[in-house]
Amino acid sequence: MSEEQLHRIAENDVFKLTPEGLQALREEVLKRELPLWFQIDDLIEDRNHFIQLVHRTAENLRDLPCPICGSEEYKLNYVTITTIIGKVFTTKITNQPILGCYNCVYNIKQEAEDTNSIYGWWSIEGLIETPKALKANDNAMKLMAIDEPTEELLNYAYILIMREREEEQRLDALTITIEKELQ
């Protein structure tokens, strides 16, 4: 791996690395004595803080009332339910991401299952994709039954945090522009 690539990973992709990947990156940077070496531990610490923030945000999202039915009975989670409608030569595949409570996701999943069982099979692609969708939807329900944030929820939390940061940066830039204009 080139020095440039290592730099790019350390600066942009450090959040995506597994602890093992991170360790490998750290060792590589230190071994090669790259200019990055003096900040690699800070980067790792930032990353760990950021991951904690993502988990905290995901947990906060789970405690909200369900955006679909308003119930507070269940903790929320985030999954994707797939619906397939085959029509001879065309196949309509809909992946519906849902943030919701167990009951709401269950109802949507049941509806999708009814549609998939009846209409999924009527195209060649549908013949291949329908069993996959039935399995994926069952899997989504299994994830809903587990009391921890799904990968999709963590991803959603990550996107929310990044959006908020971008918004803050945008506002900061705007403030600077306005201040300059007022001077």
Footprint of Zn ion (CB under 5 A): 66, 68-69, 71, 100-101, 104
DSSP 38-95: GGHHHHHHHHHHHHHHHHHHHHHHHTSPPTTT---SS--EEEEEEEEEEEBTEEEEEE
Q: Which is nearer to Zn ion, 14 or 69 (CB)?
A: 69
Indicate the residue whose CB is closest to Zn ion. Answer: 66
Structure tokens at 48: 């760990």
Interatomic CA distance for residues 115 and 31, integer angstroms: 57
User: Cα separations (Å) of 13 from 44, 55, 131?
Assistant: 11, 18, 35
Q: Which is nearer to Zn ion, 22 or 99 (CB)?
A: 99
Interatomic CA distance for residues 57 and 64, integer angstroms: 11
User: What minimum distance in Å lies between the beta carbon of 66 and Zn ion?
Assistant: 3
Q: Which is nearer to Zn ion, 35 or 67 (CB)?
A: 67
Q: Which is nearer to Zn ion, 10 or 66 (CB)?
A: 66
